[in-house]
Amino acid sequence: QVLTLDARNHGGSPHSPLMTYEAMSLDVQHLLTRLGITKCILLGHSMGGKTAMTLALQRPDLVERLISVDISPVSTAPVSEFSAYISAMKSVKIPDGLSRSAARQLADDQLRPVVQVPQLRQFLLTNLVEVEGRYGWRVNLEAISHHLADIMSFPAFHKPYPGPALFLGGSNSPYISSRDYPEIQRLFPKADVQHIEGAGHIVHQDKFEEFVTAVLNFLPPP
């Protein structure tokens, strides 16, 4: 059984002014409790990976195995880059009544000067939604920009997570680097670090087959 959940301020989940890893970890814990799940294998990408790590370190009893996709338990490089992306998203203007494809193309054109990597623009554009003829972003840009420093950093932990962990990075991405290995080793002593050749930050989009294979190989046999 696979459950995919939207973090707060993302997708179909409710918006909240609070956006910390402790809060997002609690969201997942509450969901597990509600569904009666006492043990799970947790997979998260980027901010979701940091949320998954936080939960594993807070409540190792709930996490059988952990998979962190292209993110380490350290502060993530420049806040300014993400701040620029958020500003670019906020400044997108789309007239009412356009077709979805035209609106998406217009948003893509307006983001291009700041978000130059096409795959990243495509990823951001998945958040463009239409409500009664009006286009806007379904992510809570205000809360995310307000908590950007929290999102880019990682909470302090002293007790390691004892279970198996996989850190799965993209070879073209800087987010799991050899500089992070000591901290990965300290907090996740059973960690295996792998990089998928030719993948950027959005590993599962760039190299889908290789990503799925790596994840399946890490899972316990059925």
**pLDDT (tens digit per residue) in 45-102:** 999 999 999 999 999 999 999 999 999 999 986 667 889 999 999 999 999 989 999 9
Residue 192 maps to a domain: yes
Tell me: do 142 and 83 sit in the same domain: yes
The whole domain housing 29 covers 21-76+153-218
Is there a catalytic annotation at residue 83? Answer: no
Q: Are residues 96 and 143 in the same domain?
A: yes
- Return all residues near 56 (Cβ < 8 A) that are at least 6 apart: 42, 63, 66, 161, 163, 165, 188
Active site residue 171: no
Same domain, 66 and 106: no
Within a domain: 2: no
Residues 140, 86: one domain? yes
* 67 and 168 part of one domain: yes
**142, 146, 153, 171: the active-site residue:** 142
Domain boundary among 123, 147, 171: 147
Total domain count, the chain: 2
Same domain, 95 and 142: yes
204 catalytic residue (yes or no) = no
Residue bearing tokens 């880059």: 81
Same domain (yes/no): 127, 173: no
The verdict on 143 and 164 lying in the same domain is no
Position 212 confidence tier, pLDDT thresholds 50, 70, 90: very high
Catalytic residue among 10, 147, 195, 201: 201
Residue 50 lies in a domain: yes
Q: Which residues of 109-127 are buried (b: 16+ CB within 10 A; e: fewer)?
A: ebbeeebeeeebbebbbee
Q: What is the pTM of this model?
A: 0.92
> Is there a single domain that holds both residue 70 and residue 85?
no
